[in-house]
Amino acid sequence: MLQSALSFSHTLLSNAVKPGDRVIDATMGNGHDTLFLAQLVGDSGHVDAFDIQKQALTSTNGLLEKNQIAKNTYTLHQASHDTIAKTVPASEPISAAIFNLGYLPGGDKTVITHKDSSLNAIKQCLDLLFPHGLVIVVLYYGHEGGVEEKNAILQFASQLDQHQFNVMTYQFINQVQAPPICLAFEKRK
């Protein structure tokens, strides 16, 4: 059966992330991707998760505690995703990163991701990737400013050197209401 964009992103992450890896949840939201990544990396790995909203950190921390994720497995940063390079050392490459762009589900819909900070954060994650690592971007763009962000990211992705990155999109094209797009960047050797 065909998967939703978010489910497909998790399938891709399951293939890329192994126990002991360092990974990034660039937009932690309510913590579901942070939890998923923490379960993939196990107690010997580490998840750095970012969000500007205190509500996101509170929700994510509660979800991780409820699921008994060891505190040494994750760090929650109340910061913009475009601060990743200042936070995650370049000496500690990542196997994967995930972005869910748009707004916090159940939160203030006026607080949204923006093309400039999102592009900057994506570039930072691409720089941190191991060969064959993945950066996954799920584009939710059915809100004001969302189409501009989506178009800028798709344009950036389409211009990446094919000798350095494989880039693919996954989307249902016959659905109305701006169906999400899963964009996957794989770093080549």
**3-state SS record for 91-113:** CCCEEEEEEEECECCCCCCCCEC
What pLDDT shows up at residue 189? 83
Q: Contact at 8 Å (CB) between 127 and 87? A: no
Q: Which residue has the tokens 């497909």?
A: 8
Residues 6+ positions from 189 with CB-CB distance below 8 Å: 131, 132
What pLDDT shows up at residue 23? 98
Q: For 53, which DSSP code?
A: -
Quick: pLDDT tens for 104-146: 888 888 888 999 999 999 999 999 999 999 999 999 998 889 9
Would the pTM count as exceeding 0.85? Answer: yes
Tell me which residue range forms the domain holding 31. 5-187
Q: Mean pLDDT across the chain, nearest whole number?
A: 95
Closest to 8 (Cα-Cα) out of 139, 126, 117: 139
Over residues 36-55, mean pLDDT: 97
What is the tally of structural domains in the chain?
A: 1
Kindly indicate the confidence band of residue 103, based on its pLDDT and cuts at 50, 70 and 90: confident
Over residues 26-44, mean pLDDT: 97
Reduced to 3 states, what is the DSSP secondary structure of residue 78? Answer: strand
CATH number at residue 154: 3.40.50.150
Pairing type for strands 129-139 and 181-187 reads: antiparallel
Kindly indicate the confidence band of residue 79, based on its pLDDT and cuts at 50, 70 and 90: very high
